Copies of this chain bind each other. A is one copy, B any other.
Amino acid sequence: MGHKGDALRQRIVASADQLFYQQGYENTSFSDIAEDVGISRGNFYYHFKTKDEILNAVIDTRVTDIEQMLKEWSKQYTDPRERIELYIDILTSHQDNITSHGCPIGSLCTELAKLSHVMLHDANKMFSAQRDWLTMQLRELGLGKEARQVAMHLLARTQGIATIANAFEDKTFLRQEVKHLKQWLGSL
């Protein structure tokens, strides 16, 4: 380890993350990433020995970033309802990317499941980090044992919206469903 401070490594991970999201994991080659970063294929292998290794770095970075963001929200906002609304609003603020490429987390998990890739179990940590945070917010909102189940429900709702908005390339549908989702939140 001790790689965290390596700027080039971070640039590679950022490029890989974007390309995996836009083109898919399998469909993205080392050449694609190397070209995007501006280094040669050979140099690339100095930083990452295998494709799985970079996938692992991409997932790890995303999990960390998600946890960081949610922790920040918990610090900056006191109302759990407001926090969840912020969470739902990600759909709207990323509507262009979502209609073009789907949800970066959902689509990666879907692909890894097809590849029977062992790293699916690491990838779904990107989901469970959200699930656990949402569960906490729902508990603060007064929900009891059912909080976790409701959190999973919300997770699924956002995934469904992303999948359909992507399949139909339909931003209007996405915004409609976000409105619907906020009404649902208000009814809790």
Contacts and interface: CB of A to CB of B under 8 A. Distances in A.
Contact of A115 (B23, B109, B155, B158): B23
Interface string A151-177: 011011111110110111000010011
A87 interface: no
A15 interface: no
Contacts of A65: none
Contacts of A116: 23
Q: What does DSSP make chain A's interface, helix, strand, loop or mixed?
A: helix
A153 B180 contact: yes
A153 B177 contact: yes
Given A157-B157, A177-B156, A180-B153, A111 B24 contact: yes
B123 A167 contact: yes
A164 B176 contact: no
A113 interface: yes
A72 interface: no
A163 B166 contact: no
Contact of A156 (B24, B123, B127, B163): B163
A4 interface: no
A149 interface: yes
B120 A114 contact: no
Given A110-B163, A120-B167, 16 more contacts: A23-B114, A24-B26, A106-B167, A107-B110, A107-B114, A111-B114, A113-B166, A124-B168, A127-B167, A128-B168, A149-B176, A152-B173, A156-B160, A156-B163, A156-B164, A160-B160
